[in-house]
Structure 1
């Protein structure tokens, strides 16, 4: 009997981006957990060159793909996976099944093609492959001729809408394995047939492997808190912020209010580079609350959402409001619409975008601009930064992780000292105020990661740290070893 199943890592093992892990169910059968793009400095070097978007590992044994959530560093290589010949089922939560086609469409337009017919064909194929599951329901994943089975369950991760950590459990198939019919509310998906595996690894019944995906913070707006970990024999745990603690939600709201009030007083713009999914919706929620509470001080300030993709996701967030947390639902019931309020102006066309950038360059009109990309590596935010970073009336707020090698990290590091950043091969002097609001991170901090591990009963058998810089992994490893008697492994 093997001590534990084998796992191969094809991304986010000794780094942060490009999440892709292969769980071997048996000697010749496996499933992938995520298939994301590399970003920042991780797009250079062995295994992460610009060509690394292409699948550079064998798919001979891969029978299916399990998705934790729809951020690009977890799903961005899916088009390349399809081009490499993968045609198996894609398992995910119901909300992820709604969001994923939008993310893949954007990835295709940016990285591969603008051919509408080709994009439509890829998306049609993708939708047929999706197998959406509800949270908390064990579903059959694979079975072999011996009557042994592996089942899977998605648990609320609280990171973005639809995000989950994923549990795989070995057991006796008995009568539990059966076809699960129905489209689960997503048009175009087929019925789920358990994967046929030649010979499952003979693990003890009840052996459980857990992949954390990206865990969210507690007490954030819109989404429920991550569900506590029940148990795990083997846990693959993200460590993005394993070396730091976030400021509280109350502190971050106060700091956001302070920066915006400076903007109003100075007559400048607040630029917030934000990821289209998750961070943008949280920001709109809190900004709407601040405007409603400070109507006298902020009589005319406009909030500009300049990201077609973020606007589409915001509309989907509203359609899937049944997945919001109780605070957000109560706020909406009281007459507030945190994602669609009167001061919010959504920019659609590129011509309107260019007009607004030029207007702000010359007018100094107080406003809040939320635009992608979150790491300033592309998208409409780059044009705002080129126009407004040299203006001392401007403030830039970073509310998410800035990967090494991205323009966002450079602005964060060199901006406070009046340095510069390279944008579109142009050196831009930074005179704007630069702020980082750690409390807006969508990732759990060190304390929350430790609490997630310690919640399990019985205690976790072994933890393997992934999805983190070396310093973050080392710091989290030290704290985990102090707090719990764990068998522990971390990439060097």
Structure 2
């Protein structure tokens, strides 16, 4: 029987995706922190995590609650399977996450499980009935047993709207004052639209994400300059800039900076259209605007000046699949300069695949990667083989890559090595750090750095 304060990892332990961690508050009572899908090679037969994705193959008899750090699919994509396995406990999350989560789960159901509208509606109704929104920085008592009291608190993670890292603190008994922290995904400082991550106070055990534990991001100024140069090439060559992006967070950040580039330089260009081709991204963008009280000061000031960074004149939103097909065919035949933002972020499905199939062979096209591309995904293959004039297989078809391929690391929604280290070192006390949610090389590099600062990282 697991001991109190022990953790069983059901994903994103020695890999990057499928985040799911079971924390035992007592020997008989546990909570899950996230329940996400595996992606790339981590979801392939014979790879780490394949036996766990997407079915729930661990017992739920001790699981009293689910705690959601944020709504990216690799953190929430297995929730429908959790419900099908019989879970009916409370789902704790921030208020913004409670608004975003049903949209994410609805999309995941349609793409990966069923298109039965009645079944989808029943799953969403059940999901909403279990959600318990919690304010940031507010301690909440968890119902775990008569003899033990554990409190939970969400703190701003600055990763996407509503994202949080979560703290658990034992209030009484021999463990009184003991605090365990799960980072979820920690965002970058200075990210448009979002406040910076809240500094960590203290942790006896910190489970820390390590996605970019082995690298540093370029500066926000440098990445915007590089994106501007790609757009200028697009205008000069009469081609398209394709940006695969996750619907939540990355898309809104890109719109914010593209609006700024156009406002600053656009008067020197012929009209260029920014195409947002993702119904889910459009829905999330609307929610971002409704929840603008959560924006950072810079974004609020721009909005107050009359420039809406998420709804500007050159932005065109593609609504229907029929319109999507017309746009793809039009760009294939005309080569009009435009910027296309569409899902999926790793090119593993969604509408972006159709643009890639149509436009990768065209040397006027530029593909811009702005986020992590997991091993085994089409995005990683384009990233690796595109500069060599190679090919990628999309939907069973071998597509030659003649397009320009660019990677703008500064657009990652994940903290880089320096920011992860700062998150640990600025705390008043950190007992042990256990790295999760990262590749072996990233974990090894961050472990070595933490040990240089005398932080234990087994």
TM-score by length of 2: 0.98
Per-residue CA distance 1:134-186 (angstroms, 9 max, x = gap): 0001111135323x3100000000000000000000013xxxxxxxxxxxxxx
Residue 251 to residue 347, structure 1, CA distance change in 2 (3 Å): same
1:72 aligned residue: 73
Q: Decide whether aligned partners of structure 1 residues 28 and 46 sit closer, same or farther in structure 2, where only a CA change above 3 A counts.
A: farther
Structure-2 separation of matches of 1:421 and 1:6:
43
What per-residue deviation string (whole Å, max 9, x for no partner) do you get for residues 46-65 of structure 1? 56338720101110100000
Residue 13 of structure 1 corresponds to 13
Note the C-alpha offset of 1:245.
Answer: 0.1
1:436 correspondence with 2:407: yes
Q: How far apart, CA to CA, are the structure 2 residues paired with 1:18 and 1:372?
A: 19
Residue number in structure 2 paired with 1:33: 33
In structure 2, distance between residues paired with 1:271 and 1:257: 14
Equivalent residue in structure 2 for 1:319, among 274, 278, 290: 290
In the other structure, the counterpart of 1:269 is: 240
1:461 is matched with which residue?
431
Aligned-pair CA distance for 1:294: 1.1
Please name the residue that 1:170 is paired with: 170
1:348 equivalent in alignment to 2:319? yes
1:278-309, Cα deviation, whole Å (9 max, x unpaired): 00000000000111111322230000000000
C-alpha distance in 2, partners of 1:426/1:35?
Answer: 32
CA distance in 1, matches of 2:174, 2:289: 43
Check conservation: 1:96, 1:161, Cα contact below 8 A: yes
Give the equivalent residue in structure 2 for 1:288. Answer: 259
Divergent runs of 4+, >4 A: none
Which of 347, 351, 354 in structure 2 is aligned with 1:376? 347
- Cα gap change, 1:51 to 1:476, in 2 (>3 Å): closer
C-alpha distance in 2 between matches for 1:295 and 1:203:
64
Structure 2: give runs of 5+ residues left out of the alignment. Answer: none
* 1:50 to 1:312, Cα distance in 2 relative to 1, 3 A: farther
C-alpha distance in 1, partners of 2:369/2:19? 23
Distance 1:3 1:50 in 2: 25
The 1:354–1:50 alpha-carbon spacing in structure 2 relative to 1, beyond 3 Å, is farther
* SS at structure 2 position matched to 1:304: strand
Conservation of the 8 A alpha-carbon contact between 1:138 and 1:151: yes
Alignment correspondent of 2:108: 107
Match of 2:227 among 256, 261, 281: 256
Distance 1:412 1:50, change over 3 A: farther
Matches within 5 A, 1:44-443: 44=44, 45=46, 48-49=49-50, 52-146=53-147, 148-172=148-172, 202-443=173-414
Partner SS, residue 376 of structure 1: coil
Superposed CA offset, 1:112-143 (max 9, x none) = 11111111111011001000000001111135
| 1:156/1:165 contact within 8 Å kept | yes
Contact 1:21 1:32 in 2 (8 A): yes
- Please point out which of 435, 439, 448 is paired with 2:419: 448
1:174-210 Cα shifts (integer Å, max 9, x gaps): xxxxxxxxxxxxxxxxxxxxxxxxxxxx542110000
Distance, in Å, in 1 between the alignment partners of 2:50 and 2:205 is 31
Gaps of 5+ in 1: 173-201
